[in-house]
């Protein structure tokens, strides 16, 4: 019976000792106590105005928070020996240098946060050499110019790396060979290209963010070793084109972000290997053309974002021979709503998975949404464009006088003006009526009857010139 009660007694004694052990050695500027769920010893020194690391911490400490102080330097064995420590946070300090060996004595550390130390700029290759059990490392916003090639070589268990908002111009070579890395965040930096060998050996990588860098080129086969990749963020970069094999080998990819680049077209070869893709962002580019079959293998796609481009047309052949059952985002494009988009209007009516397709042309439907455009059908069964349909169905009304009619009337008037006046006797015998009457000019208006020959010659020249002008007008 005593043997059965002894373990329970020891556990109860350990629970009684825990608060005392956590309070023992607690720095004066910090608070020490149990963590969430009353488990472990948490040391909270954030916003304590510290300019150097306290000389002593509770030996039982499992988490230490030193965020938002004025720490500038971490010396050798800066935290002593803390065998239970699992989490250490040093964010938002003024660190300028970390001595190699600063983390010695923290053999069980699993999470290290160094983010927002903007003056750090440089890390020695052996900075993390003693942290063989580290799982999560946060180096965001440290303005690091580069990572030494061997910086992470001693971290075989590293799973998550956050290195956003730094000054890298290329994907750090320190990532190569991290066989257990699953998440890498390199967004908001200055990376200019994703080279073919920069991600070598990352067989378990599931999420990679290169969002908001300066990437102009992705080399063919760049993601060849990333067969487990599920989320790839390349949005808000400077990509104007992609090679045919840019995403080769990414058969498990579920989300691809390419929005906010300078792509002018979508090629059929880009997404050929992405059979599991569910989300595709191509928004905010300069896309004016989508090749036939560009989305043909994306049968599992749940959402396709093509909004904010320069598309005027989108052929059904872009999706064939597959079936697209997801949502289409097509707003902010200058769509030409003619018979080429009849399939899209019908698909919108039947599925309800697309909305806001505003027409920019033809003029008869400009400003309308595609869902409100009526397409006619010719006697032979072919589609009739809205422009032709509206033109044939318009009601008659006053229209401008044809140019040919105006020209002929002016020519007739000139002829009558320039014709010689008939003798009085003929004029008296002429049949009265608007159709045969000649316009009579005053008897000495053109110099009298004695100058009839020069008058006729001048009148002929004038009539010829007038008719030449009329000919030019009719030609236009």
Least confident of 90-99, 137-146, 369-378, 403-412: 403-412
- Domains with residue ranges and CATH for the chain: 25-132 (3.80.10.10), 186-324 (3.80.10.10), 334-386 (no CATH)
Please compute, for residue 284, the number of CA atoms within 13 A of its CA located in the half-sphere on the CB side: 11
How high is the pLDDT of residue 476? 46
For residues 328 and 311, is the Cβ–Cβ distance under 8 A?
no
- Report whether pLDDT(395) > 80: no
Residue in this structure with the two tokens 């890395």, named with its chain if needed = 181
Give 106 or 36, the one with higher predicted confidence: 106
Average pLDDT over residues 368-385: 89
User: What six digits make up the tokens of 155?
Assistant: 């971290």
- Report whether pLDDT(404) > 50: no
Give the model's confidence band at 21: pLDDT under 50 very low, under 70 low, under 90 confident, else very high: confident
Give the model's confidence band at 262: pLDDT under 50 very low, under 70 low, under 90 confident, else very high: very high
How high is the pLDDT of residue 303? 94
Least confident of 138-152, 303-317, 457-471: 457-471
Give 350 or 193, the one with higher predicted confidence: 193
340: CB partners within 8 A, 6+ apart: 313, 315
How high is the pLDDT of residue 401? 39
Q: 61 forms bridges with which residues in the sheet?
A: 41
Return d(Cα 105, Cα 454) in angstroms, integer: 123
Return d(Cα 115, Cα 167) in angstroms, integer: 14
Whole-model pTM: value is 0.78
Mean pLDDT of the chain: 83
- Report whether pLDDT(55) > 70: yes
User: What is the CB neighbour count within 10 angstroms for residue 170?
Assistant: 14
- Report whether pLDDT(436) > 90: no
Average pLDDT over residues 261-286: 96
Give the model's confidence band at 18: pLDDT under 50 very low, under 70 low, under 90 confident, else very high: low
Give 402 or 23, the one with higher predicted confidence: 23
Average pLDDT over residues 120-142: 96
Q: 280 forms bridges with which residues in the sheet?
A: 256, 304
For residues 259 and 283, is the Cβ–Cβ distance under 8 A?
yes
């Amino acid at each position: 019976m005593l043997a059965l009660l002894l373990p329970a007694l020891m556990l109860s004694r350990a629970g009684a000792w825990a608060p005392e052990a956590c309070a023992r050695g607690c720095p004066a500027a910090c608070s020490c106590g149990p963590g969430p769920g009353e488990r472990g010893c948490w040391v909270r020194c954030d916003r304590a105005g510290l300019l150097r690391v306290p000389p002593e911490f509770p030996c039982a400490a499992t988490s230490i928070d030193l965020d938002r102080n004025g720490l500038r330097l971490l010396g050798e064995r800066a935290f002593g020996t803390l065998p239970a420590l699992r989490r250490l946070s040093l964010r938002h300090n003024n660190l300028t240098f970390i001595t190699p060996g600063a983390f010695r004595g923290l053999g069980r550390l699993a999470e290290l946060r160094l983010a927002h130390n903007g003056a750090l700029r440089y890390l020695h290759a052996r900075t993390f050499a003693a942290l063989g059990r580290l799982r999560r490392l946060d180096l965001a916003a440290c303005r690091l110019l580069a990572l030494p090639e061997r910086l992470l070589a001693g971290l075989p268990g590293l799973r998550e790396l956050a290195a956003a908002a730094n000054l890298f111009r290329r994907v750090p070579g320190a990532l190569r060979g991290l066989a257990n890395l699953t998440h890498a965040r390199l967004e908001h930096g200055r990376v200019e290209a994703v080279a073919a060998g920069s991600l070598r050996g990352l067989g378990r990588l599931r999420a990679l963010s290169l969002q908001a860098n300066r990437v102009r080129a992705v080399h063919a086969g760049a993601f060849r070793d990333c067969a487990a990749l599920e989320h790839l963020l390349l949005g808000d970069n400077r990509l104007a084109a992609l090679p045919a094999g840019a995403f080769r080998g990414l058969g498990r990819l579920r989300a691809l972000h390419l929005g906010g680049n300078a792509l002018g077209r979508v090629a059929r070869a880009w997404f050929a290997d992405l059979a599991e893709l569910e989300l595709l962002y191509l928004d905010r580019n300069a896309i004016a053309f989508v090749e036939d079959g560009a989305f043909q293998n994306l049968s599992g796609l749940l959402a396709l974002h093509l909004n904010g481009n320069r598309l005027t047309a989108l052929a059904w052949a872009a999706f064939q021979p597959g079936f697209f059952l997801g949502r289409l985002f097509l707003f902010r494009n200058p769509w030409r709503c003619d018979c080429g988009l009849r399939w899209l209007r019908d698909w919108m009516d039947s599925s309800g998975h697309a909305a806001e397709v505003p027409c920019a042309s033809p003029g008869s439907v400009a400003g309308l949404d595609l869902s409100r455009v009526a397409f006619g059908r010719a006697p032979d069964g072919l589609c009739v464009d809205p422009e032709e349909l509206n033109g044939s169905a318009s009601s008659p009304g006053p229209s401008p006088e044809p140019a040919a009619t105006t020209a002929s009337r002016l020519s007739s008037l000139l002829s009558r003006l320039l014709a010689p006046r008939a003798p009085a006797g003929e004029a008296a015998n002429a049949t009265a009526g608007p159709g045969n009457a000649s316009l009579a000019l005053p008897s000495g208006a053109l110099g009298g009857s004695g100058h009839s020959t020069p008058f006729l010659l001048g009148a002929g020249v004038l009539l010829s010139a007038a008719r030449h002008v009329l000919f030019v007008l009719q030609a236009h």
